[in-house]
Amino acid sequence: MQAVPAGISRLSWPHPLASIRVFRRRPRLDSLHAIDLTLLGGALLILAGIASSLLARRFGAPLLLVFLLLGLLLGEDGPGGIRYDDTRFTFLVGSLALAVILFDGGLRTRASHVRGAVAPSLVLASIGVALTAGLTALAASRLLGLPPLEALLLGTIVSSTDAAAVFFLLRTGGLHLERRSGATLELESGSNDPTAIFLAIGLTTWISGHQEGGIAAIAIELVWVVALGLGLGYAGGRAIVAALNRLNLPAGLHPWLALSGAVALFALTNRLGGSGYLAVYLAGIVIANRPMRARGDVLAVQDAATWFAQLVMFLLLGLLASPSALLKVLWPALGIAAFLMLVARPVAVFACLWPFGYRVQELGFISWVGLRGAVGIFLASIPLLAGLPHAGLYFNVAFVVVLVSLLVQGWTLRPAAHAFGVAVPRADPNTRRIQLDLPGQLEYELVGYRVAPGSAMLRGATLPGRVRLAMVVREGRILLPDAEEARTLAANDYAYYLAPGGLAARLDWLFAEGPDAREAEQDTFGVFTLPGDVPLGELATFYGLAVPPRFAARTAAQLFDERFDEQPQVGDRLALGNKAILVVRGLKDERVAQVGLKFAGVGERLLGGR
pLDDT bucket at 355, cuts 50 / 70 / 90: very high
What is the structure's pLDDT at 511? 82
Q: Which residues, other chains included, contact 547 with Cβ-Cβ below 8 Å and sequence gap of 6+? A: 536, 537, 540, 576, 577, 607, 608
- Cα–Cα distance, 14 to 77 (Å, whole number): 48
Angular region, 206: left φ>0, alpha ψ -120 to 50, beta rest: alpha
Q: Report angle CA 500, 505, 506 to the nearest 5 degrees.
A: 80
**pLDDT one-digit tens code per residue, 105-157:** 899 887 877 777 889 999 999 999 999 999 999 999 999 999 999 999 999 99
What is the structure's pLDDT at 463? 79
User: Under CATH, which number does the domain 525-599 receive?
Assistant: 3.30.465.10
**pLDDT one-digit tens code per residue, 463-517:** 776 788 999 999 989 999 888 888 889 988 999 998 886 667 677 777 876 544 4
List the single range of 34-43, 67-76, 410-419, 420-429 with lowest mean pLDDT: 420-429
> Is residue 241 over pLDDT 80?
yes
- Compute the CA torsion angle 434, 437, 441, 445 (nearest 10 deg): 20
What is the structure's pLDDT at 12? 38
Question: Are 603 and 572 spatial neighbours (Cβ–Cβ below 8 Å)?
Answer: no
| CA atoms 288, 421, 171, 67: torsion sign | positive
**pLDDT one-digit tens code per residue, 402-437:** 999 988 998 898 899 989 988 876 656 667 788 777
Which one is predicted more confidently, 255 or 71? 255
What is the structure's pLDDT at 26? 54
What is the structure's pLDDT at 20? 40
Integer angstrom CA distances of residue 274 from 130, 132, 192, 211, 224:
19, 23, 14, 18, 7
Question: Are 266 and 280 spatial neighbours (Cβ–Cβ below 8 Å)?
Answer: yes
Q: Report angle CA 406, 324, 381 to the nearest 5 degrees.
A: 60
List the single range of 340-349, 470-479, 584-593 with lowest mean pLDDT: 584-593
What is the structure's pLDDT at 258? 96
> Is residue 162 over pLDDT 90?
no
In terms of Cβ atoms closer than 10 Å to its own Cβ (0-12, 13-18, 19+), residue 609 is: exposed
If you average pLDDT over each of 8-22, 70-84, 142-156, 547-561, which comes out highest?
A: 142-156
CA-nearest of 251, 102, 78 to 167 is 102
CA-nearest of 501, 522, 515 to 429 is 515
Q: Which residues, other chains included, contact 544 with Cβ-Cβ below 8 Å and sequence gap of 6+? A: 579
User: Under CATH, which number does the domain 60-419 receive?
Assistant: 1.20.1530.20
In terms of Cβ atoms closer than 10 Å to its own Cβ (0-12, 13-18, 19+), residue 267 is: middle
**pLDDT one-digit tens code per residue, 504-558:** 767 777 787 654 444 444 444 556 778 888 888 887 787 777 777 777 778 888 8
> Is residue 603 over pLDDT 60?
no
Which one is predicted more confidently, 319 or 260? 260
**Type and span of the H or E element at 530:** strand 528-531
Helix/strand/coil (H/E/C) assignment for every residue in 359-427: CHHHHHHHHHCCCCCHHHHHHHHHHHHHCCCCHHHHHHHHHHHHHHHHHHHHHCHHHHHHHCCCECCCC
**pLDDT one-digit tens code per residue, 178-190:** 878 888 998 898 8
What is the structure's pLDDT at 7? 43
- Cα–Cα distance, 453 to 433 (Å, whole number): 16
Express as a percent the part of the chain with pLDDT over 70.
82
The length of the chain in residues reads: 610
List the single range of 172-186, 232-246, 308-322, 387-401 with lowest mean pLDDT: 172-186
Which one is predicted more confidently, 456 or 490? 490
CA-nearest of 523, 315, 562 to 422 is 562
CA-nearest of 106, 63, 34 to 308 is 63
Q: Where are the domains of the chain?
A: 1-59, 60-419, 434-515, 525-599
Say if strands 573-576 and 580-588 run parallel, antiparallel, or are unpaired: antiparallel
List the single range of 31-45, 68-82, 364-378 with lowest mean pLDDT: 31-45
> Is residue 249 over pLDDT 80?
yes
pLDDT bucket at 561, cuts 50 / 70 / 90: confident
If you average pLDDT over each of 197-211, 524-538, 557-571, which comes out highest?
A: 197-211
pLDDT bucket at 333, cuts 50 / 70 / 90: very high
What is the structure's pLDDT at 523? 47
> Is residue 88 over pLDDT 80?
yes
What is the structure's pLDDT at 427? 59
- Share the mean pLDDT of the chain: 81
List the single range of 89-103, 337-351, 436-450 with lowest mean pLDDT: 436-450
Alpha-carbon Rg for the chain, nearest whole angstrom, is 28
Query: What fold characterizes domain 434-515?
Result: Alpha-Beta Plaits (3.30.70)
What is the structure's pLDDT at 243? 94
> Is residue 38 over pLDDT 70?
yes
> Is residue 165 over pLDDT 80?
no
